[in-house]
């Protein structure tokens, strides 16, 4: 029998939910937010069904709904504390859109077999995992995409300088210690998405090339 009191996989961000956003702003300024805003410019028009997984405290929700007022969103987050903060963010900033967002605690395993999305958003999420965990995660998200729908990625780019490598090592040490993430180095996100038949559009960079925004579609 499973232990119902056991924490969900990938729920370790409960421990950092209270200070995650201030810490990110202290280190990166608004670079992480700008990367996500660049990705949102590629949302489908109309009333798309959008999946956000691992979205953290949910600051991006009001931005998404301002840009795409008809969107329906599934907000999937393994950390219950992060999910509560995302709900509070939506209540505070976009109360008129409450009915358009479904909040669900869990991992990609919580997706229903019939659920299909017009866009998948992974913002500073895929970098958390080692390859054995990342590969099935990507495969499940790919299955949930409608054919031709964009995969909007904002994440850390492969490091090209000594200071980028140093910052990444420090971040993996810190989040490995505080949240128990499986990743210890940046995984080959682009290569793994290419394995699924997705083609990367032109990247846009921020924070000296350390942060990138890339839109993936079928090749």
Q: Could you report the per-residue pLDDT of 170-193, keeping only the tens digit for each?
A: 999 999 999 999 999 999 999 999
**Distance of CA 79 to CAs 33, 82, 162, 196, Å?**
20, 5, 32, 27
Region 148-177: mean pLDDT is 96
Region 107-135: mean pLDDT is 96
- Virtual CA dihedral for 145, 115, 133, 12, nearest 10 degrees? 120
CB 94 within 8 A of CB 62: yes
CB 79 within 8 A of CB 128: no
Buried b vs exposed e over 83-106: b needs ≥16 C-beta within 10 Å?
A: bbbbbebbeeebeebeebbebebb
Rounded to two decimals, the pTM is 0.94
- Angle between helix axes 31-40 and 20-28 (nearest 10 degrees) is 100
Domains and CATH numbers, the chain: 12-218 (3.40.50.150)
In this prediction, residue 219 has a pLDDT band, given cuts at 50, 70 and 90, of confident
SS3 216: strand
């Amino acid at each position: 029998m499973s232990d119902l009191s056991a924490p969900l996989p990938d729920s370790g961000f409960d421990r950092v939910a209270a200070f995650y956003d201030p810490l990110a702003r202290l280190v990166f300024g608004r670079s992480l937010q700008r990367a996500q805003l660049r990705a949102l410019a590629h949302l489908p028009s109309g009333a798309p069904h959008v999946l956000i997984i691992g979205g953290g405290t949910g600051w991006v929700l009001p931005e998404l709904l301002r840009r795409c007022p008809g969107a329906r969103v599934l907000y999937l987050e393994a950390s219950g504390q992060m999910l509560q903060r995302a709900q509070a963010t939506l209540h505070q900033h976009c109360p008129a859109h409450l009915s358009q967002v479904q909040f669900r605690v869990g991992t990609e395993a919580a997706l229903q077999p019939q659920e299909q999305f017009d866009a998948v958003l992974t913002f500073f999420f895929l970098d958390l995992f080692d390859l054995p965990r990342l590969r099935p995660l990507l495969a499940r998200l790919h299955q949930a995409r409608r054919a031709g729908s964009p995969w909007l990625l904002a994440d850390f780019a492969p490091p090209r300088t000594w200071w980028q490598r140093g910052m990444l090592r420090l971040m993996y040490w810190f989040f490995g210690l505080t949240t128990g993430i499986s990743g210890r180095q940046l995984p080959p996100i682009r290569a793994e998405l290419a394995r699924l038949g997705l083609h990367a559009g032109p990247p846009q960079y921020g924070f000296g090339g350390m942060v990138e925004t890339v839109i993936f579609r079928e090749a």
